[in-house]
Structure 1
């Protein structure tokens, strides 16, 4: 399987500034258009902060070119959809950013998705999408990047349909609505922080909370990062709190969800139920999900109705591989059927419904606290990990880094944090 380069992953995490500096704008050699919902005027030129446009309609109608920038005034509020259909280039992307002081500009509206990116090579930051029809941000194109955005009260905070896009350093909270919520049919769906329907995308460095909704079929549903019909996506260094599930994977018949990698994520919850990873074999209606890899994640779900990972309806090593994770739950630490998953060098606490790998143990990992999943001295996770090549992290030769940016050494710790012994 061809996976994304870990060198790309390592380059993702520095935060993009909320405004585009003058030097950067000059380097792009494009035009900057300003939008201010309070004092703007759509009949103005829009090319200075003194003559801004007022509405999203003006932006949607603009003939944007590679290198152009749309600067949206903080504190602005819009109803409707921002549709970004123009195409930038890798060298000269089109940028959306914030200017001024105050909260991020808010886009809302139940009739449409709030920000729709059908073009390619956009760099989008400084926006909040709240209470939208389905998705706060719907990314259909290629080579786009969301950075420093916020999404809340949507069915999906971010939905990625296209390929080679990046969602990073963003806050996705309380996306807690269902698209289907009826009795029977095993079809309830919704409450996604990020929904990945495309291939070769990266979800990195985000804080995702409250992806949880009541479900007539399942009691509750939701996921921080849901993968459905998406291949070779990389989900790395995210912080997940109080979501129903961190990730659930599936594919409709005739489609695939293969080769997805989850690395250095930190997952906690105070809810009465929850899980880290749910995947399926060939006997399931949305299986098989091939080649899922979970490495160096730290998970703490103390409630009784919890599952670390589940690989069911025909599990096998080709379905799921786990290395160097620390998974503590009040319920089942892991569950498998069939041939079982490929497990090694993990630290578990909870009921074991699978065959432990050679270096895996059941023990208290000695987290610093319920909220701080770093390891205290004497933890059995210290030095527990096995060295892993770049293929485990998406390919490439660069040395992977933990959730805090520390490089792994020759005898890594299990979990998302490296102690630097």
Structure 2
């Protein structure tokens, strides 16, 4: 498996303090501006559906303030980029939402990234970024939320940059982001086909459906990942459904950084790809290692092809690199690999043609008895039932994430995997 280097990233900067003008907006009621690419008119006032503007550029140029809303008519279509540079506040974010019926508003354009969020405290829902230059959604700011968006046919569906911190991507669909940005023979440098690319810190990727993140590669044959993490620290990847991606997640960091403290919890991963994998991480001997403090807990994985791998912790694996608890991983290839001192593993069920790691407490090699190839709930008699170790909320990044993929609380004697029976 491969992880391709990203250009050297700029240092993170603290968010600027609000200006006096921004502070004075606390008592101001927000204004809603309407945009309709079919029936709108940029000469109108934009403040009602009947007087909607035609272009998103008109709305972005409206000097949006905290509490304002941009309502975009479903069925609209625009050419990017849409650059969101204003900032809301925690109490009054700036909102982008849809109205009307029909398809999500689509933003396309191969000359630019489609939606670029440079400000802070935006709440964005219902936009569809399609066939953009590189990223469907680029998030440079802090404390933003993308909810119910769609990204398709990009190099990366959602890109959270090195300056993007404490952002959330939830309940969204990232499908067939299967283009490469670098794809040439030689050099070990092909790159692309990411559902999500994370370079920033303290972000949450939760409740999403990520499919089709793979592309042909001159260097590797095929490449791609549902969630690629490079340099970003303390990111949480939880409760996602991933189907037919080349890799669920690879982690790496340039020297001097570590991509420390990534959490993978209650994800359901299936793929028919011939070389699919769940999780790939590295120790200090690797060019983009060490990646410290990764935790994978209560994930369910089924990858039936012969050349697949469940998890790989190589080039100096140790418990400080990877901890695994209560996972269910069934693959046609290698269920897990470790070298060096090995990972810290327990409470799991593994099935594969081979396994090159030491089983931890309560872990077994056995058929997990999934309901089907795509339904990874457990059938009666599964060895994963009540197999898991009891874990504190800290393992999940807090109480909000200490539940199975369907929202069930974890019992005192939990089942291994993403589903509680």
> Would you call these one fold, judging by a TM-score over 0.5?
yes
- Is residue 399–residue 407 contact of structure 1 (8 Å, CA) maintained in 2? no
- Residue 28 of structure 1 and its aligned partner are, at CA, apart by 8.5
How far did residue 219 of structure 1 move?
Answer: 1.2
Question: What stretches of structure 2 of length at least 5 have no aligned partner?
Answer: 1-26
2:254 is aligned to 252
2-structure distance, mates of 1:397, 1:363: 31
Instruction: Find the counterpart in structure 2 of residue 367 from structure 1.
Output: 370
Q: Deviations over 1:366-413 (max 9, x none)?
A: 10011100001110000000011122111x356710000000010100
**Partner of 1:58: helix, strand, or coil?**
helix
Tell which deviates more after alignment, 38-47 or 124-133.
Answer: 38-47
2:351 to 346, 349, 352: 349
For residues 167-316 of structure 1, the aligned pairs below 5 Å read: 167-316=169-318
- Per the alignment, residue 393 of structure 1 pairs with 396
- Can you list the C-alpha shifts for 1:173-216, whole angstroms capped at 9, x where unaligned? 00000111111221111101111110000000000000000111
Map of 2:387 onto structure 1? 384
**Runs of 4+ that moved beyond 6 A:** none
Checking the alignment, whether the CA contact within 8 Å between 1:28 and 1:92 is kept in structure 2 is no
1:152-174 deviations in Å (ceiling 9; x for gaps):
00000001120000000000000
Secondary structure, in 3 states, of the residue corresponding to 2:60? helix
Q: In the superposition, relative to structure 1, how do residues 124 and 284 fare at CA in structure 2: closer, same or farther (>3 Å)? A: same
C-alpha displacement of 1:126:
1.0
| Distance in 2 of aligned mates of 1:258 and 1:182 | 31
Contact persistence 1:56–1:80 (CA under 8 A): no
Within 1, Cα distance between the matches of 2:414 and 2:76?
47
What is the deviation of 1:255?
A: 1.9
Using the alignment, how far apart are the partners of 1:126 and 1:358 within structure 2? 45
Q: Does 1:66 align with 2:69?
A: no
With normalisation by structure 1, the TM-score equals: 0.92
Tell me the residue number matched to 1:117. 117
Counterpart of 2:337 in structure 1 is 335
TM-score scaled by length of structure 2: 0.92
Check whether the contact 2:387–2:416 (CA below 8 A) recurs between aligned residues.
Answer: yes
CA distance in 1, matches of 2:286, 2:72: 46
Compared CA separation, residues 28 and 203, structure 1 to 2 (3 A): farther
- Cα distance in 1 for residues equivalent to 2:119 and 2:102: 29
Query: Does the Cα contact within 8 Å between 2:281 and 2:291 map onto a contact in 1?
Result: yes
